[in-house]
Amino acid sequence: MNYLLVNLISWLIFFFGAAFPILIVLRVIGLTGFMKVTRFENYHTFYYNMNPSVKIMLGIVVTVVAALTIWWIGAILTVVVLFTYLTLKNGKSKFITGFFLTMITIIGTTWAFAPYTPYVILQEAFHNTTITGIWTWPSYFTVMGYQKELSIQGLIYGFQISMRFTAISLISLVLVMTSTPSQVLRAINKIGMPVSITFSLVVAMRTIPRIFEYIDTSVKIQYMRGLGSNAPKTIRPFYMLVGAINAIVPVIVFLVRGAKDTAISADTRAFRAYRTRTHMQPVSIGRADKTAIMMSVLAMFVTAMVVIMGFGRAIPYL
Amino acid sequence: MGFNGISGVLSAPGEIPWELVLLFFGAGLVFIFIWGKRTGGLAKFTTVDLIYIGIGAAFAVVWEFYIGAFLGKFIPSNPFFGVGYTGRLIALLIVAGLVRKVGVGMVAMFIFNLLSDLISYGFSGEPMYFMYEMLTYGLMMDIVIALAGKNIFGLRSSSRKSSLNKGTSIGNENAVSSNVFSRMPGVYLAAIEGLVIGVLWAIPEPVFYSGFIAPFLYGGVVDWAAIIFGILAFIPSALIIGAIGGVITRRIVRAVGL
């Protein structure tokens, strides 16, 4: 009896890490949520007035800061970046989507590290030889690479690692949400990348939200045709997953068929007739960019100070 | 902490000598250039090719960061099967099937890596990851394309010719071609070529990443027993997924009507 219970709870804990994020995706974010955070919408606040290269630079600065400093600075950065989502168009809904995406990252990363991280690394990370286990896995869990016990230190370690990623993914999405593909194209061409490569990149950037859109449409059509209509209510959300997987190949065919039209319209506008392109709107450094650059310099300065004060990266992330 | 998170460790215990890595990259590049010229796989990308590459990279990103990332959580981290690997392989196989030119693997991996940096990773550790993704996964795919030429996945021999002159018998074609592979039905050929790419793609993660890039970026000790086990354990699923991917590719490319 006891053996059964231990197994049951262990598998519940195991599936919590897998199923909880997916439930958030299916119930709260949905495919339209992904579409919202990967698609450009026109608006006029701070981020929208910035030069795309400065936005890329901001991303790099956030990466560097999060990589060099102790976890709670990453956490503060995450909160700050998340709150700037409120200034975007439909800021509230983007804030909510961003919040849940961050939650998923935290849970996912914690679960990806906590059960697996060897005690040796934990002892090194916490400068402490005692590991406090809170749950003992059944012995066969070690086949999956699990340690003997789930420990508090393991959970904290996983959480701290997640703080390194969350701010970066949030600030990176800002670039996609607030610049048009052609702005990005211009900015990247400026650093000397060939126009054919940037063209592919821009096609890819435009395609990502469209993939979510078409998968969403396809899933809805499958629902209309009765997918999952006889299933009990509790497992019905998972039919969206089934529908999404079914939709992948048709969506690829649909998008690829449209490629010829895109190619014809690009070629008729003399795409790649010359090596370089001229631009109607010059890429300039405006007031918003100057503010952003000032903020990044300040952030780097604060980082340097913080590292000197001894709040540098505290745990080995490997 | 070196430049951009790269420690630049070249002498970690067990690390592959950098000369060897460089030699593989150089030899591979020279090979695809020379062999691609012979088989006709080396050609300039047209505009529509660039769009195919963009769409394929977008699919790989959507899988890597959104759909596959969540599906992968149901499967514990294991050395036998990778959800991310599956989606990326199939997306790239489809691009390779659509474009069928040498260099498509490297360009597509470049775009994929650049997009991943823009959307999620934020350029830490670059340019090492560009080199890793392009010159291992991309290059290996290009080697297979260079070998197979424009006929990869049995595409030209069946779909193009049959649409041109439907009346001619297949027996006639057999008499002309001396190669064993040309006489094989396209589906099998697609499965075999997909399988070869699949198995080649099982190698970079353990060998190049664990054996060179990871110690180069962060230092540490290379565990060769784990690397060999990693390759051997992964190959069965790579065989199956590669074969399925090749067949899917063939279907999609024919549905698109090239």
pLDDT tens by residue, A9-21: 888 887 777 778 7
For residue B122, the chain A residues in CB contact (below 8 A) are 59-60, 62-63, 168, 171-172
Q: What per-residue confidence (pLDDT) applies to A69?
A: 81
Give me chain B's average pLDDT, please: 77
Checking if the pLDDT of B258 tops 70, the result is no
For residue B118, the chain A residues in CB contact (below 8 A) are 56, 59, 172, 175-176, 205
Cβ proximity of A85 and A94 under 8 Å: yes
Q: ipTM of the assembly?
A: 0.79
Beta carbons within 8 Å of A232's beta carbon, 6+ residues apart? none
Q: What per-residue confidence (pLDDT) applies to B156?
A: 59
Interchain CB distance below 8 Å, B62 and A267: no
- Among candidates B50, B53, B122 on the partner chain, residue whose Cβ is nearest the Cβ of A59: B122
Q: What per-residue confidence (pLDDT) applies to A40?
A: 86
Residue B175 burial (10 A CB sphere; 0-12, 13-18, 19+): exposed
Interchain CB distance below 8 Å, B54 and A202: yes
User: Of residues A264 and A281, which shows the higher confidence score?
Assistant: A264
- Among candidates A63, A256, A318 on the partner chain, residue whose Cβ is nearest the Cβ of B124: A63
Report the alpha-carbon distance of residue A82 to residue A99 in Å, rounded: 7
User: Of residues A9 and B74, which shows the higher confidence score?
Assistant: A9
Q: What per-residue confidence (pLDDT) applies to B5?
A: 63
Checking if the pLDDT of A266 tops 50, the result is yes
Angle value at C-alpha A165, between A161 and A171, nearest 5 degrees: 155
For residue B81, the chain A residues in CB contact (below 8 A) are none
Q: What per-residue confidence (pLDDT) applies to A232?
A: 80
Q: What per-residue confidence (pLDDT) applies to B158?
A: 43
Question: Closest Cα partner for A33 from A249, A212, A225?
Answer: A212
B167-184 average pLDDT score: 51
B11-21 average pLDDT score: 78
Checking if the pLDDT of B160 tops 50, the result is no
B54-80 average pLDDT score: 79
**DSSP assignment of A172-238, as one string?**
HHHHHHHS-HHHHHHHHHHTT--HHHHHHHHHHHHHHHHHHHHHHHHHHHHHHTTTTTTS-GGGTHH
- Among candidates B58, B73, B255 on the partner chain, residue whose Cβ is nearest the Cβ of A18: B73
Tell me the pLDDT band of A83, cut-offs 50, 70 and 90.
Answer: very high
- Among candidates A172, A207, A241 on the partner chain, residue whose Cβ is nearest the Cβ of B122: A172
| Minimum distance, in Å, between the CA of residue A160 and any CA atom of chain B | 17
- Among candidates B50, B52, B220 on the partner chain, residue whose Cβ is nearest the Cβ of A196: B50
B95-120 average pLDDT score: 86
Give me chain A's average pLDDT, please: 82
Report the alpha-carbon distance of residue B258 to residue B191 in Å, rounded: 19
User: Hey, what are B38's tokens?
Assistant: 């012979």
Checking if the pLDDT of B193 tops 60, the result is yes
Report the alpha-carbon distance of residue B56 to residue A204 in Å, rounded: 8
Tell me the pLDDT band of B169, cut-offs 50, 70 and 90.
Answer: very low
Q: What per-residue confidence (pLDDT) applies to B122?
A: 65
Checking if the pLDDT of A79 tops 90, the result is yes
User: Of residues B31 and B75, which shows the higher confidence score?
Assistant: B31
Q: Which residue of A has its CA nearest to B74?
A: A18
For residue B226, the chain A residues in CB contact (below 8 A) are none
Tell me the pLDDT band of B165, cut-offs 50, 70 and 90.
Answer: very low
* Residue showing tokens 């297979």: B144
pLDDT, one tens digit per residue, over B110-119 is 999 888 887 7
Q: What per-residue confidence (pLDDT) applies to A99?
A: 92
**Mutate which: B73, B74, B112, vs A, most A CBs within 10 A:** B73
For residue B55, the chain A residues in CB contact (below 8 A) are 203-204, 207, 252, 255-256, 259
Checking if the pLDDT of B159 tops 60, the result is no
User: Of residues B171 and A276, which shows the higher confidence score?
Assistant: A276
Checking if the pLDDT of A76 tops 80, the result is yes
Tell me the pLDDT band of A318, cut-offs 50, 70 and 90.
Answer: very low
Q: A133: left (phi > 0), else alpha (psi -120 to 50), else beta?
A: beta
For residue A255, the chain B residues in CB contact (below 8 A) are 55
Interchain CB distance below 8 Å, A111 and B73: yes
Cβ proximity of A21 and A104 under 8 Å: yes
Q: How far is CA A240 from the centre of its chain?
A: 21
For residue A63, the chain B residues in CB contact (below 8 A) are 121-124
User: Of residues A285 and B156, which shows the higher confidence score?
Assistant: A285
Q: What per-residue confidence (pLDDT) applies to B53?
A: 92
Checking if the pLDDT of A231 tops 90, the result is no
Report for A108-117, B9-18, B108-117, B204-213: range of highest mean pLDDT = B108-117
For residue B74, the chain A residues in CB contact (below 8 A) are 15, 18-19, 22
Interchain CB distance below 8 Å, A256 and B55: yes
**Mutate which: B52, B63, B66, B251, vs A, most A CBs within 10 A:** B66
- Among candidates A15, A176, A211 on the partner chain, residue whose Cβ is nearest the Cβ of B119: A176
pLDDT, one tens digit per residue, over A103-146 is 888 888 888 788 877 787 777 777 777 778 888 888 777 777 77
Q: A18-27, A99-108, A259-268, B120-129: lowest mean pLDDT where?
A: B120-129
Interchain CB distance below 8 Å, A207 and B47: no
Q: Determine whether domain B18-160+180-251 maps to CATH 1.10.3470.
A: no
Q: What per-residue confidence (pLDDT) applies to B174?
A: 43
Question: What percent of chain A has pLDDT above 70?
Answer: 96
- Among candidates B77, B111, B251 on the partner chain, residue whose Cβ is nearest the Cβ of A204: B111
Checking if the pLDDT of A294 tops 60, the result is yes
Question: What percent of chain B has pLDDT above 70?
Answer: 78
Domain boundaries in chain A?
A: 1-179+286-318, 180-284
Q: What per-residue confidence (pLDDT) applies to B78?
A: 67
